[in-house]
Structure 1
Amino acid sequence: MLIENISCVIIVKNAASTLGSTLDSLADFRDVVLYDNGSTDETIEIAKKYKNVTLVIGEFLGFGPTKNLACSYAKNEWVFSLDADEVLSDEFIKNISNLELNDRNIYTILRENYYKSTQVKHCWGNDIIVRLFNRSKTSFSEEKVHEKVIEEGFKTILISGAVKHYPYNTITDFILKLDRYSTIFAQDNVGKKKSSPSKAFFNAAFSFFKTYFLKKGFLDGYAGLVIAFSHMATNFYKYIKLYELNKKL
């Protein structure tokens, strides 16, 4: 059964390793908007193979503003926001296709997180995230990182069925993402937040302790160690980059 009343919207950059699996799982959506912001790998070539995909090339304005811009290209008012490393289960597709949409509601997904093909149950666990909404009634917040759909005034309904998330397939993926996210954080907070080398150090140290011990990341084995160290490095570089930018003011 084709899903004709909901547009799926994805922003993407250099997701060739995961995009094919994501788009394969969206075969039942008649309208898929893929907003590419600077891919240099095979992402665009992969997208062109799918007849239900509308490819838009644009710049990156920060995650919130870019997602809102991408949503403006949707053919439907109802928008399902997805990442280019997420794959819909058959159960989820069945349930979203049978939804009775209500403008007073926004809809959440249950996201299972994986490192390579191993489900990570402690460091990350499962997420419940708002992803389906009427774009004429609400939108993403304007934060450049940690954006989310504005929920105030709406009832949230969970769409049953898993969405599988594959954000990292190599150690290099961690390094590239932590560099990108820490840079965005620093640029977005320069002159607004204070930072120092000691703040960078202690935030990083606590992040590792929280992820590996408090969240029992050690039970995730090798993946838990890699993730905890990545969280530590991300926090260190967030605040040390902010410190350097503040010094230039």
Structure 2
Amino acid sequence: MLLTIGMMVKNEEKHLKECLEALTPIRNELDTELVIIDTGSDDKTFEIAKKFTDKVYFHEWNDNFSEMRNTVISYAKGDWYFSLDGDEIINNPETIINFFKSGKHKKYNAGLVTQKNYTNLEENRFSKILVPRIFKNDEEFHFEGAVHNQPQYKKPIIALDTILDHYGYVTSDPELMERKFQRTSNILKDELEKDPENIYYWFQLSKSYNMHKDQEDGLEAIETAYEVAQKNNIDLRKRIYIYIQLSKMYLVNNRYKMSEKIAKEALSVKDGYVDLYYYMARAQLMQGKKEKALVNFKEYINLINNYDQTNSKIDTAVDDETMGNYNIAYRFIVALAADLEIETDYAINSAFKIDIDSQLQYAIHPFI
């Protein structure tokens, strides 16, 4: 068998049917199997899954994501393994079909796909990150880490054009967000008791607090990550995500000078990150540094327009959270240009690129 599509699910009835239907072209064109492990659903997840495959199994949840994912792998018979979640929908399945049918898979041991994480559907807010999801199912392939688990695999790896639309963090669903926060934050706290200098777990705890609107706790967690990294001489050039989260948390806690400082520090270490320019521009705007804010909003837009060539796209550890904020950036560009009475042509062109009515109304006001 060529490919196992493996999934670990719990209470995924909202998106599971669409998720599994989107796999139909892959399953029709390639020699595949679909293996699903349910870890304790009390909705219609199990029934939906059974309509698509007879390889649905139950394993009780044990607060360890990697152990559950490795259990799914233990059922896999495919030479390759595609890891998918029940709230993800493959946007362009032909990219995976072509990867195998072209024979390109024979040159690689793993494949990266783009995960498009929606946070607000009404405002088209999303982030993007390259994630490894397709693996040669050899003796070395497995997952590690109790939460935010990391796949272990051999190189070389190829970046595919595959896009996974992910709906697991849509903030307009408060019940879902609360459930995920309690689950994830509790596991992270347990892991940090065992390993208090794990900066990745401090970073993830900060993100969890931020999504839960516990902003002071989120800042404290990422400050701890940064301080531990400094104390232990950890090279943050390979962990730019620490800088990005720290700049963001200073921003949301109204500490604009520190947000700007950290963004500048990060960009001096490694340039080309979408979020850093956006957070720096917002921080400068709040400090009244209008000219600098305009310059950095424009650079943010430039990086968005040339995303495939940026460090943001290449860095698989960075989830570019501000990818969907271009409408807001255009709005500020228009307002700043009008206020400063400079770059009027650029501002007007920017206004025409806004695709959300509420932001457009703000943008065109200075020219009416």
TM tier, smaller: 0.7 to 0.9
Match of 2:182 in 1: 179
Match of 1:130 in 2: 132
In 2, the alpha carbon distance for the partners of 1:202 and 1:89 equals 35
- In the TM superposition, 1:168-207 aligns within 5 A as 168-169=169-170, 170-193=173-196, 200=217, 202-203=219-220
**Alignment deviations for residues 37-70 of structure 1 (CA, whole Å, 9 cap, x no partner):** 01111100111111x3510100234111211111
| CA contact 1:65–1:140 (8 Å) conserved in 2 | no
Match of 1:21 in 2: 18
Match of 1:233 in 2: none
| CA contact 1:107–1:133 (8 Å) conserved in 2 | yes
| Larger helix share, 1 or 2 | 2
In 1, the alpha carbon distance for the partners of 2:155 and 2:143 equals 15
- In the TM superposition, 1:55-70 aligns within 5 A as 55-61=56-62, 62-70=64-72
Question: Which letter maps to 1:154?
Answer: K
Question: Which letter maps to 2:325?
Answer: L
Question: Which letter maps to 2:160?
Answer: I
Q: Pick from 26, 31, 53: which aligns with 2:33?
A: 31
Aligned residues: 211
In 1, the alpha carbon distance for the partners of 2:185 and 2:125 equals 23
SS at structure 2 position matched to 1:14: coil
Task: State the shift of 1:81 in Å.
Answer: 0.4
Match of 1:9 in 2: 6
Q: 1:99 to 1:181 in 2, by over 3 A?
A: farther
In 2, the alpha carbon distance for the partners of 1:163 and 1:99 equals 21
Q: What CA RMSD, in Å, does the superposition of the two structures yield over aligned residues?
A: 3.0
In 2, the alpha carbon distance for the partners of 1:97 and 1:117 equals 33
Match of 2:235 in 1: none
**Alignment deviations for residues 93-147 of structure 1 (CA, whole Å, 9 cap, x no partner):** 44345252237521111121213535434xxx21111111122243233201121
Q: Which runs of 4+ in 1 moved over 4 A?
A: 204-209, 211-214
In 2, the alpha carbon distance for the partners of 1:203 and 1:99 equals 49
Match of 2:51 in 1: 49
SS at structure 1 position matched to 2:14: helix
**Alignment deviations for residues 15-36 of structure 1 (CA, whole Å, 9 cap, x no partner):** 1111111111112324111111
Task: State the shift of 1:80 in Å.
Answer: 0.5
In 2, the alpha carbon distance for the partners of 1:109 and 1:81 equals 11
Task: State the shift of 1:165 in Å.
Answer: 1.1
In 2, the alpha carbon distance for the partners of 1:165 and 1:201 equals 23
Provide the TM-score with structure 1 as the length reference: 0.73
Match of 1:120 in 2: 125
In 2, the alpha carbon distance for the partners of 1:154 and 1:208 equals 31
Provide the TM-score with structure 2 as the length reference: 0.51
Gaps of 5+ in 1: 223-249
In 1, the alpha carbon distance for the partners of 2:145 and 2:46 equals 26
Match of 2:325 in 1: 219
| CA contact 1:103–1:134 (8 Å) conserved in 2 | no
In 2, the alpha carbon distance for the partners of 1:205 and 1:95 equals 41
| CA contact 1:145–1:181 (8 Å) conserved in 2 | yes
Identity %: 25
In 2, the alpha carbon distance for the partners of 1:7 and 1:201 equals 38
Question: Which letter maps to 2:56?
Answer: L
| Larger strand share, 1 or 2 | 1
Gaps of 5+ in 2: 203-215, 224-244, 253-262, 264-274, 279-321, 329-368
Q: 1:109 to 1:141 in 2, by over 3 A?
A: same
User: Which entry has the higher C-alpha Rg, 1 or 2?
Assistant: 2
